[in-house]
Amino acid sequence: MSKIRVSTTVNGDAAEFLCESGSSLLDVLRDTMGLTGSKEGCGSGDCGACTVVLDGEMVCSCLVLAPEAEGRTIATIEGVAEGSVLHPVQQKFLEHAALQCGFCTPGFIVAAKALLDRNPNPTETEVRYWLAGNLCRCTGYDKIVRAVLDAAAELRQERTPA
């Protein structure tokens, strides 16, 4: 079986790759493109460690076939910071010690940013339900939820003209 050629945009840059039809988008990001920030914790959509944003919606990249990405726009953890400037969600994860081992962190940050991009003022409950697809085994979620709420507050302040 010959491989399929796919053209996409990844973190703002045009990207082409060859893939097997049965490969997941996550396989291609990690093994072909070298973007190993998205993690595979389960391969079945149950942990969220592979969360990326596909055409504006967050998805588990392990549950997207690589050829489906043709012509689509993908945003991964590697594109969340602007150059060396961390996104407020990233900064707040650091300040709140919202990570221990850090393996689930990229998925949480992509998911949390996706939440704040559409809901600038979520309640604690909204944060918890939005992030329910992301498993963390280290933190008990407490500091993650606080970091996201604090990042939301900071983003609201940034958006408010002084």
Q: Could you say which residues in the range 54-113 bind other proteins, by CB under 8 A?
A: 54, 57-60, 62-65, 67-68, 70, 76-78, 80-81, 86, 90, 93-97, 99-106, 109, 111
Contacts of residue 68, Cβ cutoff 8 Å, sequence gap at least 6: 25
Nearest by Cα to 72 from 61, 80, 86: 61
Nearer to other proteins, 44 or 157 (CB): 44
For other proteins, which residue of 144, 151, 152, 155 counts as binding (CB under 8 A)?
144
Please report whether residue 7 would count as binding other proteins according to CB under 8 A.
no
Shortest Å distance, C-beta 69 to other proteins: 11
**One of 5, 7, 12, 44 touching other proteins (CB under 8 A):** 44
Least gap, CB of 29 to other proteins (angstroms) = 10
What's the Cα-to-Cα distance from 54 to each of 31, 39, 45, 49, 158, rounded to whole Å? 18, 16, 15, 15, 26
Among 9, 40, 73, 153, binds other proteins (CB under 8 A): 40
**Which one, 70 or 158, has the nearer CB to other proteins?**
70
CA distances from 94 to 1, 54, 55, 65 (A): 46, 26, 28, 33
- How far is the first Cα of the chain from the last one, in angstroms, to the nearest whole number? 59
Q: Does 33 bind other proteins (CB under 8 A)?
A: no
Among residues 4, 32, 33, 154, the one that binds other proteins under rule CB under 8 A: 4
Is residue 87 classed as helix, strand or coil in its secondary structure?
Answer: coil
From the CB of 150, what's the least distance to other proteins, in Å? 13
Q: Tell me if 48 contacts other proteins by CB under 8 A.
A: yes
∠ CA 127-110-56, rounded to 5°: 100
